[in-house]
Amino acid sequence: MIAVSAFCNARSKTDEFVVKSPSGNIEAEIHRDKDKLTYSVRSGGRIMIDRGDMGIVVDNKNYANALFDAEKVEIRTFNTTYQVLGIKSTARNHYNGASIPMTTPGVGSWTLGVRVYDDGFAFRYQVPGTGLRTVQGEITSFVLPGESVIWYFERKNAWKLKSYAGEWLKAPIDKMPTVSGKLGPVQGLPLVAELPEGGYMLLSDAACWNYSSLRGKAVGNNTFKASLADKSFEVDGNVITPWRVVLCAPDLNALVNSTIISNLAPPPDPNLYGDTDYIRPGRCVWRWWSSGTGNPQEEEEYINYAEKLGFEYTIIDDGWKDWPNAWEEVTRLCSYARQKGVGVFLWKHSKDINDPADAWANMRTFLDKVVKAGAVGIKTDFMNSDGKAAIDFEIALLKLAAERKLMVNFHGCHKSTGEARTFPNEVTREGIRGLELNKMKEGPITASHNAALPFTRFVVGHGDYTPFTVTAERMGPTTLAHQLATVICFTSPLQVIAENPAELLVPEHKELTGVLKEIPSVWDETRVLPGSRIGELTVMARRKGKTWFIAGLNGMGEQIYSLDLSFLGKKTFLATIVQDHPDASDKVTLQTRNVNPAAKQNMVMSKGGGFVYLLKEQ
C-alpha cells in the first residue's frame, strides 16, 4: 500500500525551512546564512548536525549561495511497505519530504530534495542541464556533536578506499584529522558515531549511481567535509546526486533495523524486474578460500558437497576459463548441478567485461554465454574503485544480468548504497573486511572487528564476508563458537561459506554442521539484545518462521553474558546450544534441551569467543 499526502509547512520564513518526520522525532532545518546554505538536524530535541554546509560545484559554478521561498514549498508524506531480503522480510518507507526550488544569483536555478524519516534525514542536489556536465565537488559538510566517538574502517595501504576492506576501529572525533597518519584525513563511509549523550549516528550515501562515491574528510571542529572519489567527473544532462544520509538511532537495535538506505533507493523497474522468481537467497559452497582454483572434477565434487549440506549454490571461481574446452565443461557442470538441485555462480574478472563500447557489447556477449551454459549468476571481482566509472560498470552489469535473469555477486568493490532495492538481482557484495584476510599476511581478522561489523558496515546493506571456518590455523584470535555466530550475525542473502565442505562433513563436526545447515541466509525479524556494545559484544536474535537463532560475538576478553529470553513469551522451545569449549578454542560444547524463556541463561564466552542458540517452538 502507498499513501501520499501533502500539506503546507507550518514553520517557515523566506530564509528558513523546517520539516519534521512523521512522528515529529526528527526535525531538519534548512537555513540561508549570509552567503551560504546550511542545515541542522535534531533528534528528540537534541542537536545531531549543527549548521552543516550544503552545495555543489558543476561546470565551475558554485551552487552554494542559494535563495529560496520556504512559504511556497509543499511537504509531502509518503508511506508504503515493500519486501526485502536480509535483516527482515518487510521494510517501511515512511517520510515527509519536499523538493525546494533554489536560485543561486548569477549561477542558476536548481532543486534541493529533502526527506525526513523517524530515524534520519537525507538530502540531494538536482542541477538541470543538457549535454556533458562536469561535477567538480560538493560543499556538503557534517558537523557532529563534540566528544563523539567515531567508528571508521582502517587499512594501512592504498587498498583502503579501493575495496573498503579495512578493520573497524574507533577514535574521538577530535583525533579524526590525524588518526590515519600518512594516509590522510579522508575516510570511507559509512562512519558511525557514538554520541556523548547516548545514541548513535551514521553518515553515508544512498542510491549512488551515475555519480562518484561520497567520502568524509575530517577537518577538525567536529566536522567531516564531502570528498568525492573522483576529483571531477562527467554526467550527461541533469546532475542528480545520491542522497546524503544522516541516520539517528537511540540504541543499537534501532540502528541495525533501520532501512533508510534501502528506502532512499528507487523501487525496481517493473519492466526489468517483473519476474523475480529467479532471485533466490541461499547458502553456497566455495573452493577458492580453502583450496584455491579447481579443475572440472574438483568443481563437480563441490556440487556434490552442496547437495550433501543442503546448500543451494556453488561458485566456480577463478581459473575455469583456462580449462581445455572451458565453456563445454562449465555447461556440463551446470547441467550436473541442476540435477542435484544446486545453482552455479560463475566468476569473472571485471577487466574482461568492463568496456562500455557499443552498449557494453563485450559484457552482453559474456552474459549470453553464461545463460547458455546454464549458470544462475555471476561473481565479478577487482573493480577496486568507488569512482563513477566503476559504479557505471556495476549498474550496467546489474541491468544486463537482470535482462537475462541472472543474479550478481560483486567482489573487490565499495560498500552497499541501496543497490539491492533497485536492482534486487544483486544478492550480495563485498566491500567488507572478510574472512579471506585470514589466509593473507595482512590478517588475521580481530574479534573486535567482527563484533563491530553488525553496527557499522552491515547497517548500510548486505556484505559478502564469506564466514565460518573450523580450521584452527585460520580462525585468528577467535573461537569455533565465534565463527559459527558470524554466520547468524552477518547478513548476506547469498551466504558463501568459506570452509572446505569436506571438513564440515567429517564425523567430528557432524553435530556442529547440523546446526550450520539450519541457519538461513535471510530473516523475518532481527533484534539486537541489551548489553551489546560496538566492537565489544554483539548479541542478536534473528527469526525465520517460528525458529529463533540467537548469536553472540565477543570482541573482548572472557566475559559472561546474561541472556534474557523473555521476549519469546511463555512458549516452550527446544534449544540447541553451542558454546565455547573451556579448554580448546577450536572446539565447542553442544547440548540440546528444553528452555524456559522466563529463566535467564548465563553464557560464558572465552576471549574472542561466542555462542549460538537455536530455538524451535514446541
Beta bridge partners of 3: 79
Residue 351 has a CB neighbour count (10 Å cut-off) of 12
Residues 526/547, Cβ–Cβ less than 8 Å:
no
Q: What is the tens place of the pLDDT at every residue in 522-565? A: 999 999 999 999 999 999 999 999 999 999 999 999 999 999 99
C-alpha cell recorded at residue 340: 542435484
Q: What is the tens place of the pLDDT at every residue in 172-209? A: 999 999 999 999 999 999 999 999 999 999 999 999 99
Q: How far apart are CA 26 and CA 20, in angstroms?
A: 6
- Counting residues of the chain whose pLDDT is more than 90, the rounded percentage is 94
pTM above 0.95, yes or no: yes
For residue 5, the model assigns a pLDDT of 59
Which listed CATH number (3.40.50.300, 3.40.50.1970, 3.20.20.70, 3.40.50.720) goes with 433-490+522-618? 3.20.20.70
Beta bridge partners of 239: 127
Domain residue spans in the chain? 2-144+205-247, 282-431, 433-490+522-618
Q: Into which CATH architecture does domain 2-144+205-247 fall?
A: Distorted Sandwich (2.70)
The reply to whether 2-144+205-247 and 282-431 are identical in fold is: no
CATH class given for the domain over 282-431: alpha beta
Q: How far apart are CA 404 and CA 128, in angstroms?
A: 33
Q: What is the tens place of the pLDDT at every residue in 107-142? A: 999 999 999 999 999 999 999 999 999 999 999 999
Positions of E strands within 460-600? 494-496, 525-528, 537-544, 547-554, 559-563, 573-580, 588-595
* For range 61-82, the mean pLDDT: 93
Question: Kind and range of the H or E element at 110?
Answer: strand 108-117
The 12-13 sheet, strands edge to edge: 12-13, 16-20, 26-33, 36-43, 46-54
Q: How many Cα atoms occupy the beta-carbon half-sphere of 610 within 13 Å?
A: 33
Q: How far apart are CA 7 and CA 214, in angstroms?
A: 32
> At 320, is the pLDDT very low, low, confident or very high (cuts 50, 70, 90)?
very high
The burial class, CB within 10 Å (0-12 / 13-18 / 19+), for 457 is buried
Would you say residue 2 has pLDDT above 90? no
> How far, in Å, are 357, 401, 496 from residue 407 at the CA level?
23, 7, 14
Q: What is the tens place of the pLDDT at every residue in 353-393? A: 999 999 999 999 999 999 999 999 999 999 999 999 999 99
Beta bridge partners of 573: 595, 617
- Write the CB contacts of 229 (distance below 8 Å, at least 6 apart in sequence): 161, 212, 213, 215, 385, 386, 387, 388
* For range 289-293, the mean pLDDT: 94
Q: How far apart are CA 196 and CA 273, in angstroms?
A: 44
> At 151, is the pLDDT very low, low, confident or very high (cuts 50, 70, 90)?
very high
| SS3 category, 446 | coil
